[in-house]
Amino acid sequence: MEQGIYPLKFLPLFKQRVWGGNKIAKELGVDYSPLPSCGELWCLSGLREQETVVANGFLAEAVLEEVIEMYTDELLGEENYAEFGTNFPLLLKIIDANDNLSVQVHPDDDYAERNGLGNGKNEMWYVLQADKDAQLFNGWNKNMTKAEVINRVRENNLIEVLNCERVERGDLFYIPAGLVHSLGKGCMVAEVQQSSDTTYRLYDWGRVDENGKSRTLHMEESLQVLNLKGQKRSGKVHYHYHTDKTNNMLTTPFFTVNHIHCFQGLKKDYSALDSFVIYFCVGGGGFIETESGRIPMRAGEAMLIPAVCQATFIQPQPNMEILEIFIVTQIINNLIDSILKV
């Protein structure tokens, strides 16, 4: 007899990057040894050959795809399973930029499908820590042409036409597919994104790797997917912050993200939601209680709450900051739009 599904935690994947630092250990207390530094901590991933492994309960050591095959819509929700099948649609990371990341761009779903890349890549960054004067780059500060992009990369003055944003803890940025961007030195962010590892590197600051070689640029691909329009508005997303409440941060066709910072216990009712829910702990710690039991959680961990789980209780010790993430499918979005138009 098949045992029931329960909230899942995962073993982390550590990625050493040429720009990575030591904040994942210093700020979050996560041990990534024997690596000397860590650029990315993958907290939840369903990418083939880069899947996170279940860490708790009788499903321990199973990869995410195997669990989805076993529990299908009980885990993902009916609409999500119908749309995504066994391909988990999201990827959650913590990124520590000890140096500037490359200036880059990601493709959208249409381009990815036409070119056999799986999903496109829309993403968001939530700033967990920022050094003094830390910054990021997002979008053009004027309308561009492909020819000017090429010339500026060759002449090493591309940065002059990028929007530069000073950042601090709690800042939120949405990075849609096609937007040129770069995370700057001194930033540590939580990233929520579509399940894709496709990045087109446009400019890399003249940097060389540990072998003295420049990293490959993807000029042709970048020019095919770049949005060349300038941005007049800040790329920062503003949201309300109230403790011990659910605060909506971002709602997109690809994911919804809410912010919860608990100092007292908080009950959550998911009986009307046909979706899995992810708790991405980005500060503090405590316990998550469901009918399946009580599971500890700390900063740097993600927990996947099955769609059949109708309620949770968040018990901070003494406080816990969570990004609450789920997907309302396009089918539901279309239904909502049709109702609003009546």
Q: Digits of tens for pLDDT over the chain (342 positions)?
A: 468 999 999 999 999 999 999 999 999 999 999 999 999 999 999 998 899 999 999 999 999 999 999 999 999 999 999 999 999 999 999 999 999 999 999 999 999 999 999 899 999 999 999 999 999 999 999 999 999 999 999 999 999 999 999 999 999 999 999 999 999 999 999 999 999 999 999 999 988 877 888 889 999 999 999 999 998 777 899 999 999 999 999 999 999 999 999 999 999 999 999 999 999 999 999 999 999 999 999 999 999 999 999 999 999 999 999 999 999 865 455 544 443 444
Q: Do residues 60 and 198 share a domain?
A: yes
Which positions ≥6 away from 2 have C-beta within 8 Å? Answer: 70
pLDDT at 330: 55
Answer whether residue 231 is part of any domain. Answer: no
In a domain, 230, yes or no: no
Give the domain range for residue 265: 246-341
For residues 218 and 271, membership in a common domain is answered with no
Could you tell me if 302 and 215 lie in one domain?
no
Q: Which two tokens stand for residue 126?
A: 């939530």
Q: CA-CA distances (angstroms) from residue 211 to 37, 154, 191, 215?
A: 17, 23, 29, 10
Give the strand order in the sheet containing 90-97: 13-15, 40-44, 90-97, 187-194, 123-130, 172-175
Residue type, 315: Q
Claim to verify: residue 174 and residue 316 sit in the same structural domain: no
Instruction: Report the first-to-last Cα separation within the chain, whole angstroms.
Output: 48
Residue 103, number of CB atoms within 10 A of its CB:
20
Is cis: bond before 253, omega within 30 of 0? Answer: no
- In the structure encoding, which two tokens stand for residue 72, read together? 């299908």
Total of domains in the chain: 2
Among 166, 194, 225, the domain boundary falls at 225
In SS3 terms, the chain reads as: CCCCCCCEEEECEEECCCCCECHHHHCCCCCCCCCCCECEEEEECCCCCCCCEECCCCCCCCEHHHHHHHHHHHHHCHHHHHHHCCCCCEEEEEEEECCCCCEEECCCHHHHHHCCCCCCCCEEEEEEEECCCCEEEEEECCCCCHHHHHHHHHCCCHHHHEEEEECCCCCEEEECCCCCEEECCCEEEEEEEECCCCCEEEECCCCECCCCCECCCCHHHHHHHCCCCECCCCCECCCCCCCCCEEEEEECCCCEEEEEEECCCEEEECCCCCCCEEEEEEEEEEEEEECCEEEEEECCCEEEECCCCCEEEEEEEEEEEEEEEECCCHHHHHHHHHHHHC
Q: How far is CA 310 from CA 128, 258, 292, in A?
A: 29, 17, 11
Q: Are residues 266 and 205 in the same domain?
A: no
- The answer on 176 and 307 residing in a single domain is no
Q: What is the pLDDT of residue 212?
A: 84
Give the per-residue pLDDT at 333: 53
Q: Is residue 236 part of a domain?
A: no
pLDDT at 338: 45
Active site residue 201: yes
Task: Give me the pLDDT at residue 336, please.
Answer: 42
Which amino acid, one-letter code, is at 174?
A: Y
Same domain? For 102 and 158 the reply is yes
User: Could you tell me if 173 and 250 lie in one domain?
Assistant: no
* Active-site residue identified among 201, 207, 215, 298: 201
Angstrom distances, CA of residue 336 to CA of 93, 269, 341: 30, 21, 9
**For tokens 């890549």, what's the residue?**
121
- Asked, for residue 157, whether it belongs to a domain, the answer is yes
In angstroms, the CA 341 to CA 59 distance is 45
Quote the pLDDT of residue 241. 94
Q: Residue 340 has what pLDDT?
A: 41
Domain ends where: 192, 225, 258?
Answer: 225
Same structural domain, 288 and 196: no
For residue 250, tell me if it sits in a domain: yes
CA gap 164, 136 in Å, rounded: 6
With respect to residue 82, please indicate whether it lies within any of the assigned structural domains: no
Q: What is the pTM of this model?
A: 0.93
286 and 322 assigned to the same domain: yes
CATH number of domain containing 157: 2.60.120.10
Would you say residue 54 lies in a domain?
A: yes
**Number of alpha carbons in the 13 Å side-chain half-sphere of residue 12:** 23
Which residue from 58, 73, 7 is spatially nearest to 292, judged by alpha carbons? Answer: 7
Distance separating alpha carbons of residues 259 and 171, to the nearest angstrom? 12
Q: Find tokens 């988990």 and name the residue.
A: 88
- Determine how many CB atoms are found less than 10 A away from the CB of residue 219: 17
